[in-house]
Amino acid sequence: MSLSHTHMANRSKRALTTILMPVIATILLSGCDTVSNVFTNNDDEILPGTRISVLALERELRPSIESVDTRIILPPPEDTPVWPGAGGFSHHAMHHLAIGPNPERVWTTNVGEGTGLRNRMFAEPVVGLGYIFTMDAEGVVAAFDVETGRRAWRRATIPDREKSGFIGGIKNLGGFFGHPPYFLGGALALDQGRLFATSGAAEVLALEPETGEVIWRTPVDTPIRAAPVVNGGRVFAITVENQVIALAADDGRQLWTYSGPAQPTILLGGTAPAVDGGVAVVALTNGELIALRTDTGAVLWNESVVTVRRTEAAASLPDIAARPVIDRGRVFAIGQSGLLVAIDLRTGRRAWEAPVPGIYQPWVAGDFIYAVTLDSEAVCIDARSGRVLWVTQLPRFEDEDDEEDRIVWAGPALASDRLILVGTDGRALSLSPYTGTVLGQIELRDGASMPPVFANETMYVLDDDGDLTAYR
> The domain 5-31+52-471 belongs to what CATH superfamily?
YVTN repeat-like/Quinoprotein amine dehydrogenase (2.130.10.10)
Residues pairing with 78 in the sheet: 97
- CA atoms lying within 13 Å on the CB side of residue 7: 16
**pLDDT exceeds cutoff 50 at 167:** no
Q: Is the pLDDT of residue 288 over 80?
A: yes
pLDDT at position 181 is 46
Mean pLDDT of the chain: 83
- What is the C-alpha separation between 429 and 439, in angstroms, rounded? 8
Q: Which helix (H) or strand (E) holds 19?
A: helix 5-28
Domain ranges of the chain: 5-31+52-471
Of the chain, the end-to-end C-alpha distance in Å amounts to: 19
- Note the pLDDT tens digit of each residue in 433-462: 999 999 999 999 999 999 999 999 999 999
Residues 463, 446: contact at Cβ < 8 Å? yes
Percent of the chain with pLDDT over 70: 77
**Confidence category of residue 395, pLDDT binned at 50, 70, 90:** very high
Q: Average pLDDT for residues 46-75, to the nearest whole number? A: 63
pTM for the structure as a whole: 0.83
Q: How many CB atoms lie within 10 A of CB 300?
A: 16
pLDDT tens digits, one per residue of 338-377: 899 999 999 999 999 999 999 999 999 999 999 999 999 9
What would the pLDDT profile of 77-108 be if each residue is shown by its tens digit? 999 999 999 999 999 999 999 998 888 999 99
Identify the H or E element spanning 389: strand 388-393
Instruction: List Cβ neighbours of 56 (8 Å cut-off, separation of 6 or more).
Output: none
Backbone φ/ψ region at 322: left (φ over 0), alpha (ψ -120 to 50), beta: beta
